[in-house]
Structure 1
Amino acid sequence: MIDLSALREKPTLTGERVRLVPLSEEHVDDFYASAQDDEIRRLTGTHRRIGYDEAAEWCAGRSEAPDRLDLAITAHPEARYVGELALMEVDPDNETAAYRISLSAIEFTGQGLGREATRLLLEYAFDRVRLHRVWLEVYAFNMRAIAVYRSCGFAVEGRLRDALLWEGRRHDALIMGVLENDFRKTAGL
C-alpha cells in the first residue's frame, strides 16, 4: 500500500550535485523564464506560453497539492535553479504514478543533473511513497532524455503515433516505465 502522506510532505532531497526542494514562490522568475524558452517548449511539447501571473500562481500552489509532488532542481553549491520535476497522476490502487522533468536551459543538459535528479525522485517514489511503477511520456526525437531514462531503469512500453504537431511536423511520443526492481538494479541498490 502506498503512503500518500509522502506526497503532502514536500521533502528536500539532496544528491552529490543537485538538491530537490519544494517548488514555491521563490522559483517564479526562473520557472517563468524556462516556460518562455523555445527549445524547452519544443522538448516538452508545450504550445501555449504561460503568463507571469499564471507561473506565480502555479508555483505558489504547489505546496498545497496533496496528491502530487513538485520540486525545483537546484545545483550545488550555489543553489542555482536548473529546472523542475513532478511526481503526479498517482494511482493508489495500482501503486503507479507519472513523472515529468524539465531542465530550465539547454546549458544544463549533458552534465548529469537530470539523471541525478531523476534517480533522487525515483528513490523517494519507491522507498517513501512505496510505488511499484513510475511512467512517463517523452517525444521520440528527444534522444538525450531517452538515454537518461534508460540509465535510470525505464524501458519503452509503447508508442503514441503522431502525438505532437510541432511547426508542421508530427512526432511520436514514447511511453516509458520503470518498475521498482528495475530501478534498484540500475541504481545498484
Structure 2
Amino acid sequence: MSDIAEPVLWARVEGIALGALRADLAHEYWRWESDPGAVLGYGRQVPESAESRAEGLEHQLRGAPDQARFTVYDTRGGETAPCGLASLLIDHQVRTAEFVLVVAPESRGRGVGTAATRLTLDYAFHVIGLEMVWLKVLEPNAAGRTAYAKAGFREVGTMRSAGTWKGRRCGEVVMDALPEDFPWPSVIAGDSNEKR
C-alpha cells in the first residue's frame, strides 16, 4: 500500500499500533469483516455488501461521542501495514464500553489480536477513563478467548445457547477488564502504571 500516506499512530506496543479509521481503507475493512473466519467468530449469519459497509464507515468517520474506533497496524518488518479494526462502544452513563476486534485473515495467529486488545484497553482506561470494558466471544473460539485473556480480560460467565458456531448452537462467553486488571505501564499516558 505504498500509494497511501503514512498514518498517524497514537500508540504502539510489540510492533502493533493504533491509528484513526481511514476512508481509503473501506474495502480492506469490508474484506476483513466479510472473511469467513471473522463471520464465524462473530456468529453472524448474513454477509454485508461492500456498499453497505462503505455507508457505515462514512457515519463512523464523522465520529460519535459513544464510539472510539481504531485501525490496527502491524509495524514489524519495516512498513506500517493496516491489519485490523478495534472498537469501543461506550456507555458514558456507567463509564463502560463493549470491545469489538477484527483481525485481517493474513495477520491472525501472529499476536496482533493480543497487542491490539492491550492498546485498546490502555486507551479505554488511561484516555477515556472507563471503569470497565467487556466483550462477548463464542465459547468454541479458543484463539480469541486466549488472546483476550493475555491482554487482561477475565471470563465472568457464559450466556448459554446465545450464539452459533459452524451451524450449531453454542454459548457466548462474557469477559471483562477493569483498570486494576491492566498490569502494564500505559504506553498512551506514558506513566508507570499509577493506580487511580
- Kindly report which structure 2 residues correspond to 1:151-170, keeping only aligned pairs within 5 A, or say none: 151-170=150-169
- 1:104 matched to 2:104? The reply is yes
Residues 106-128 of structure 1: CA distance to partner in whole angstroms, max 9, x if unpaired?
A: x3122111111111111111011
Which runs of no fewer than 5 residues in structure 1 stay unpaired? Answer: 1-9
The answer to whether residue 129 in structure 2 is matched with residue 126 in structure 1 is: no
Q: How does 1:3-18 map to 2 (within 5 A)?
A: 12-18=10-16
Tell me the C-alpha RMSD between the 2 structures: 2.1
Equivalents in 2 of 1:138, 1:167: separation in Å? 14
Q: Structure 1 residues 159, 101: CA separation in 2 closer, same or farther (over 3 Å shift)?
A: same
1:68-111: per-residue Cα shift (whole Å, max 9, x none)?
A: 011111111422221101000x2223221110101120x31221
2: CA distance between counterparts of 1:182 and 1:12?
A: 22
Which residue pairs with 1:54 in the alignment? 52
Q: Whose helix proportion is higher, 1 or 2?
A: 1
Contact 1:152–1:186, Cα closer than 8 Å, also in 2: no
Distance 1:29 1:44, change over 3 A: same
Instruction: Summarize deviations over 1:38-71 as a string: whole Å, max 9, x none.
Output: 1111011121111111111222222323210111
What is aligned with 2:20? 22
TM-score between both structures, scaled by the size of structure 2? 0.82
**Are the structure 2 counterparts of residues 51 and 41 from structure 1 closer, same or farther at C-alpha, using a change threshold of 3 Å?**
same
2: distance between equivalents of 1:186 and 1:115?
A: 16
Deviating above 4 A after TM superposition, structure 1's stretches of 4 or more consecutive aligned residues are: 185-188
Instruction: Determine helix, strand or coil for the equivalent of 2:94.
Output: coil
- Give the aligned partner of residue 69 of structure 1: 68
Match for residue 87 of structure 2?
86
Contact 2:131 2:178 in 1 (8 A): yes
